[in-house]
Each structure stands twice: as C-alpha cells, then as structure tokens.
C-alpha cells in the first residue's frame, strides 16, 4: 500500500506540468490501467470453530474501460483478479481463494475544471470465488456474491489524450464459506476498499 500512496504523489507531481485537455464528449471511450490495492474490511460469523475470519490485503494490476454517454455521464467496467489468504482469529489456517470481481458503475464527471476531472459513481458488483484452498480445514466452497459499489476519483490531464488517474471504490461483497467434512461455516462480509493509481487514454 505504501507503493500505491507513493505512486499517487508521483501522479500529482506529474500533473503540475499537465496540459489542459479537451472536455469529454458523448461517444468518447477511456481505457485505464491501474495498480490496485485491495483492503478488506471484513466482519464474520464463524460456526463450528472459535474466533472469526481474517482476510489479508492484496495488490494487483487492474484494467477498466469507460464509455461516455454525455460529457458528464459515463459507465465504467473494471476487470481484475485478486488472491487472498484466509485465517481465523484463533490462528487456524483457513486457506486462500482468488476473487474475480467485475464491477460496473455509472459515473458523473465534473468537467468545470481544466486541471483535474473529478468524478463520483455508484453501481453493482458480482464476485466469483475460484481456486479456493481450505488450508487446515480440508475442503471449502465459497458462494458467489452480488452487491453494490461506490466510487470517487479524479482524472488528471497529462498531454493530448493521456490522463493520470486516482480512484477509490468501496465494494460490498458477502459470501458463505462451507468447510467439509468438518461442518465449519463462515458467513463473511468482505467489503473491501479498492484503491487504484494508474494512467488512462481517451479515444
């Protein structure tokens, strides 16, 4: 996460010499690539074992694409996969799982400023769990999740159609993990913050 914060400062420094970019137009596309920090804010109920579930942080690459319906309104779809180790607060290794969390948001862009292009958004998330390992608990199955997503960010013009980008999302992800043959069950709200720093190109 320190690297992501340092990257954000570097992008702000770069923006000091930024050239004003044209405003967004209906029909524009924006393609971005980010380094994404995934910071779970988990809460859980554990049945059949002591303690609660803990999910570690992850740093992964992410790509997204936005389409502008008007200069102010766009839709963004992100794609990334994130691996996470899972333990219990009692110190039991509960294995790991990969998450595929495509998230679609509808965004409003504030276009009154030349030097920065802030935006806010809200939408939906679907998370698929795969390559799950149960660690010391033998076997596990995770239920997939549907939930909401909130977003705020800023595009910083660099030159021509290039932009630096800083983006923060709150994604609401809930799952039930069933461990067998032990019968242990975990109902987990993962609800991560997604903190991204990257670069985008408008075309």
Which domains can be identified in the chain, with CATH numbers? 2-202 (2.40.160.20)
pLDDT tops 50 at residue 9: no
Q: pTM for the whole thing?
A: 0.85
pLDDT given for residue 21 in this prediction: 53
> Per-residue pLDDT tens for 129-167?
999 999 988 899 999 999 999 999 999 999 889 999 999
C-beta of residue 92 within 8 angstroms of C-beta of residue 137: yes
**Least confident range of 11-20, 21-30, 57-66:** 11-20
Mean pLDDT along residues 53-64: 96
């Amino acid at each position: 996460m320190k690297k992501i914060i340092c990257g954000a400062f570097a992008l702000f420094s770069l923006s000091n010499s930024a050239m004003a970019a044209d405003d967004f137009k209906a029909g524009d596309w924006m393609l971005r690539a980010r380094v994404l920090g995934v910071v779970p804010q988990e809460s859980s109920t554990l049945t059949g074992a002591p303690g609660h579930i803990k999910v570690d942080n992850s740093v992964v690459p992410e790509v997204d694409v936005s389409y502008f319906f008007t200069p102010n309104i766009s839709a963004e779809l992100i794609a990334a996969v994130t691996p996470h180790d899972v333990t219990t607060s009692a110190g039991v290794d509960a294995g790991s799982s990969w998450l595929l969390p495509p998230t679609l948001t509808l965004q409003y862009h504030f276009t009154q400023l030349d030097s920065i292009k802030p935006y806010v958004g809200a939408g939906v998330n679907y998370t698929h769990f795969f390559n799950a390992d149960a660690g010391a608990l033998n076997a596990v199955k995770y239920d997939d999740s549907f939930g909401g997503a909130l977003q705020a960010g800023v595009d910083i013009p660099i030159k021509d159609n290039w932009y630096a980008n800083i983006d923060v999302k709150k994604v609401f992800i809930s799952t039930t993990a069933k461990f067998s043959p032990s019968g242990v069950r975990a109902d987990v709200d993962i609800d991560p913050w997604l903190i991204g720093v990257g670069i985008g190109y408008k075309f």
